[in-house]
Amino acid sequence: MLLYRLPGLRLLLILSPPLLWMLVIYLGALAFLFLTAFWRQDPLTAAIVQDWGLQNFRALLAEGVYRQIAIRTVGIALAVTLTDVVLAFPIAYYAARIASPRVRTFLLLSMVLPLWSSYLVRVYAWRTILSGDGLLNWSLHQLHLGTTNLGFSKWSLWIVFCYLWLPYVLLPMYAAVERIPDSLIEASTDLGARWGTTLSRVILPIVWPGIVAGSIFAFSLTLGDYIAPDLVGDTEFIGNVIYQSVGVANNVPFAAAYAIVPALIMAAYLLIARQMKAFEAL
């Protein structure tokens, strides 16, 4: 009765648990991470000293290797994002607009299916395919095509990431393509546009928010990954450095400082996406 008459109170009750969760656990942890970045590790005892200063950031800027790793991580993340978008669009378009209902169900299922298996299993599967005496080289050898040295390089990393995040790019894009009414495409044709013009002037602009949504997944997931570089790559990502700083060196302040880098990059990415009006349809 009381709750019925006071919608404000009802709202407060409904929203407070998730809000508390958001504030304390998520934003709180982020804030704490940010603060930690200004502490330092005592070089002798390896204990953490709560001395406020910019020494971690100074170290990040001074050492070229950290900049290199960051640039490499962002570069591969961008390449993966672009590749996935290019791969996903025709699949999403075919599944949403051309395929018969049965083929569509099959395609949708095969999009989602990989997500139901463990991430580690999928990465290890690729490891067995790409490794020196793995499936890929064996097949090439059987076909008398020689062998490649794909295994454990930036290329293999690129392939594996593209595979891992493709479903996350596909699904929002599929949803966006599916929402376009047939009549819009017919109207464009009716007004004299060929297929290419319809694609660039009508379909892509409407699907754009879906493309950006998917790209945010691919980009952020690559940016934060540290397992795949370990298992199928030969280079380090930002995540690997952070992992080693925490796990091996116990230098949490430095890890925190470095972790701010991908957070900032992600913020920039989202800002650019907003500039490109990707969120207007939300």
Q: Which distant-in-sequence residues (6+ apart) come within 8 Å of 5 by Cβ?
A: none
Task: Mark 164-183 with x for binding to another protein (rule: CB under 8 A) and - for no binding.
Answer: -----------------x-x
Report yes or no: 20 and 221 within 8 Å, Cβ to Cβ: no
Which one of 41, 188, 220, 245 is in contact with another protein (CB under 8 A)?
188
Q: Alpha-carbon distance 122 to 160, whole Å?
A: 9
Q: Which part of the chain contacts another protein (CB under 8 A), choosing from 4-12, 65-73, 186-194, 227-235?
A: 186-194
| Contact (CB, 8 A) for 240 and 230 | yes
User: What is the spatial distance between Cα 41 and Cα 16, in angstroms, rounded to a whole number?
Assistant: 37
Closest CA to 81 of 167, 173, 176, 162: 162
For another protein, give the closer residue by CB, 125 or 193. Answer: 193
For the bound state, the minimum distance from the C-beta of residue 89 to another protein, rounded and expressed in Å, comes to: 17
Stretches 108-116, 145-153, 197-205, 264-272: which one binds another protein (CB under 8 A)?
Answer: 197-205
Nearer to another protein by C-beta: 192 or 247?
192
Residue 24 contacts residue 15 (beta carbons within 8 Å)? no
Among 58, 67, 141, 201, binds another protein (CB under 8 A): 201
Nearer to another protein, 141 or 179 (CB): 179
Say how far apart CA 216 and CA 210 lie, in whole Å: 10
Binds another protein (CB under 8 A): choice among 105, 147, 197, 250: 197
CA dihedral 180→182→187→188, nearest 10 degrees, is: 60
Question: Is 53 a binder of another protein (CB under 8 A)?
Answer: no
Please report, as a single letter, which amino acid is at residue 106: F
Q: How far is the CB of 64 from another protein (least distance, A)?
A: 45
Residue 101 is a binding residue for another protein (CB under 8 A): no
Min CB(173)–another protein separation in Å: 16
Q: Which stretch binds another protein (CB under 8 A): 7-15, 142-150, 159-167, 190-198?
A: 190-198
192 binds another protein (CB under 8 A): yes
Q: Where are the beta strands (DSSP E) in 31-86?
A: 40-41, 48-49
Is residue 100 at the binding interface for another protein, with CB under 8 A as the rule?
no
* Phi and psi based region of residue 47 (left: phi greater than 0; alpha: psi -120 to 50; beta: remaining): beta
What DSSP string runs through 101-116? HHHHHHHHHHHHGGGG
Q: Is 189 in the site for another protein (CB under 8 A)?
A: yes
Please answer whether residues 119 and 221 qualify as being in contact, where contact means their C-beta atoms are separated by less than 8 angstroms: no
> Would you count residue 200 as binding another protein (CB under 8 A)?
no
CA–CA gap between residue 235 and residue 253 (Å, rounded) = 23
Q: Is 148 in the site for another protein (CB under 8 A)?
A: no
104 contacts another protein (rule: CB under 8 A): no
Residue from the set 191, 264, 268, 276 that interacts with another protein by CB under 8 A: 191
| Listed residue (232, 275, 258, 281) closest to 59, CA to CA | 258
Token output for 27: 């934003």
- Taking CB under 8 A as the binding criterion, the range among 70-78, 148-156, 193-201, 226-234 that sits at the site for another protein is 193-201
List contacts with another protein (CB under 8 A): 181, 183-184, 186-194, 197, 201-202, 205-206
